Amino acid sequence: MIDLKSKTIAVVGVSSDGNKYGSKIFKTLKHDGVNAYAVGRSDGTSMGQKIYKSVSELPEKPQLVVMVIPPAASMPVVEEAVKLGVGEIWFQPGAENEAAENFAKSKGVKVTSRACVMVQGATGDGVRTVNGNKRN
């Protein structure tokens, strides 16, 4: 289990479409009081917050970048995160990219993949939110 509440997080793959998985992760993090920012290709907002076009546009450097984008789109985001000095990148299931993961690791970035940040960041059982409340 990881402590998401102690981190500034960028969720890459958020859109104004609340049904997309990146938006669901962002919504859950914000609902649970996590300092999270939305990053995505589209203009607009999610949960009343601006969707930034890139990690470098954020008002503060994230400690963790959660990747919820197609694998083919991840290398430029990883390169940007490494350049900014982000210490941890999480590839959600379906976003894994071995080359991007290896690049990040070679630069000293902690990489997690093949696991859901919402499961690992909650209780590990996948039924609780970050703050421990049951999610219906």
Q: Where along the chain do its domains lie?
A: 4-120
pLDDT exceeds 50 at position 134: no
Work out the pLDDT band at 1, boundaries 50, 70, 90.
low
pLDDT exceeds 80 at position 15: yes
pLDDT exceeds 80 at position 125: no
Q: Count of residues for the chain?
A: 136
| Across 3-27, average pLDDT | 90
Architecture of domain 4-120: 3-Layer(aba) Sandwich (3.40)
pLDDT tens digits, one per residue of 75-104:
999 999 999 999 999 999 999 999 999 999
Q: What is the overall mean pLDDT for the chain?
A: 87
- Residue 53, number of CB atoms within 10 A of its CB: 12
Q: Is 38 exposed, middle or buried (0-12, 13-18, 19+ CB in 10 A)?
A: buried
pLDDT exceeds 70 at position 12: yes
